[in-house]
């Protein structure tokens, strides 16, 4: 078990695909919106955009679908489709999220959200999911000049938490997010969602978990061992 509790001052969460089970909804929403404008948007193209900010997603889609592709119009329809699904069914939480937040709160570990999603939409999702009050900071894609895999969003999150980057754990489901965590000199923990990690990404991660329950158990063991060690010393 690597890393002692004293070395963990903050945990930074990605949002879509990590906290919320929304990536599959987004894939279907892009397909639906694309067809409405005469484009077939593949699941593989959408998955390539996971963890990427709006500007870089636009570049990716225009490269794949041609410069005539009206990204902003199609994305607006995509957003409406996602909003309708969430309004009807609520925000789908990833299993173990509440448990993990409880573990971190019980041990006074600071928590931030760092998402490529723009702030307006991110705040709506966090509020509807009922988790906004559980984070000390939220950093969004439109607040940094460079998106993931650049380290900017994670460094800004650490700055707002007044945490040292090397003492921050980053929880990510995307390859670009893992690369950003490494570039920020933070500890990358991966919980894959739609896309299995490549060998190159597997070589970068400190830990890989099947779900947030496993993350909660792992960190709880570290904190418990630290408390027991202090009692024995």
Among this protein's residues, is 14 annotated catalytic?
A: yes
Structure tokens at 116: 């490529």
Q: At which residue do the structure tokens 């307006």 appear?
A: 120
The DSSP-derived string for the chain is ----GGG--EEEE--BTTTB--HHHHHHHHHHHHHHTT----HHHHHHTTT--HHHHHHHHHHHH-TT--HHHHHHHHHHHHHHHHHHH---BPTTHHHHHHHHHHTT-EEEEEESS-HHHHHHHHHHHT-GGG-SEEEEGGGSSS-TTSSHHHHHHHHHHT--GGGEEEEESSHHHHHHHHHTT-EEEE---SSPPPHHHHTT-SEE-SSHHHHHHHHHHHHHHHHHHHHH-
Catalytic residue among 14, 16, 56, 152: 14
Which of these, 230, 228, 233, 173, lies nearest to 205 by C-alpha position? Answer: 173
Catalytic positions, please? Answer: 14
């Amino acid at each position: 078990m690597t890393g002692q509790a004293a070395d963990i001052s903050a945990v930074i969460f990605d949002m879509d695909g990590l906290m919320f089970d929304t990536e599959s909804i987004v894939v279907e929403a892009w397909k639906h919106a694309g067809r409405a404008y005469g484009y077939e948007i593949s699941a593989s193209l959408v998955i390539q955009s996971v963890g990427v900010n709006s500007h870089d997603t636009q570049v990716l889609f225009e490269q794949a679908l041609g410069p005539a592709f009206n990204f902003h119009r199609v994305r607006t329809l995509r957003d409406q489709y996602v909003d309708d699904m969430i309004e009807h069914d609520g925000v789908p939480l990833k299993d173990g999220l509440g448990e993990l937040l409880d573990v971190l709160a019980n041990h006074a570990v600071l928590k931030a959200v760092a998402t490529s999603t723009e702030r307006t939409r991110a705040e709506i999702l966090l509020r509807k999911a009922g988790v906004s009050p559980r984070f000390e900071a939220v950093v969004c894609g439109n607040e940094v000049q460079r998106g993931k895999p650049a380290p900017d969003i994670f460094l800004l999150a650490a700055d707002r938490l007044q945490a040292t980057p090397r003492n921050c754990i980053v929880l990510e489901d995307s390859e670009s997010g893992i690369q950003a965590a490494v570039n920020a000199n933070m500890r990358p923990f991966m919980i894959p969602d739609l896309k299995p990690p490549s060998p190159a990404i597997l070589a970068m991660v400190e830990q890989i978990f099947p779900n947030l329950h496993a993350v909660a158990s792992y960190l709880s063991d570290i904190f418990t061992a630290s408390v027991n060690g202090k009692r024995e010393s």
